[in-house]
Amino acid sequence: MLSNIGIPGLILILVIALVIFGPKKLPEIGRAMGQTLKEFKNSTRELTKDEEDEKKNQ
């Protein structure tokens, strides 16, 4: 779904976000999104590691 956006669509989304939230809030929002994605990635990695460990132990 996101692969269909393209560069012009991404730029449009960023401009709209800038207008809505303003230049002061945008870095905070970006930081929060980055931390959320990092935590999600780590959780996913832990889940797959747990499943691999269970398969090895059986």
- Rounded to 5°, the CA angle 4-8-28 comes to 95
pLDDT (mean) for 28-44? 91
**So what's the pLDDT on residue 46?**
87
Let me know if residue 51 belongs to a domain: yes
What is the span of the domain harbouring residue 55? 23-58
Residue 31 predicted with pLDDT over 90: yes
Is pLDDT at 52 greater than 80 in this prediction?
no
| Structural domain contains residue 9 | no
In the structure, what pLDDT confidence band is assigned to residue 16 with cuts at 50, 70 and 90?
A: very high
- Mean pLDDT for 10-39 is 89
Please give the model's pTM, rounded to 2 decimal places: 0.56
The fraction of the chain above a pLDDT of 90, given in percent, is: 22
> Does a structural domain hold residue 47?
yes
In a domain, 57, yes or no: yes
C-beta separation of 49 from 41 below 8 A: no
In a domain, 40, yes or no: yes
Q: Is residue 4 part of a domain?
A: no
Total domains present in the chain: 1
Q: Residue type for 9, please?
A: G
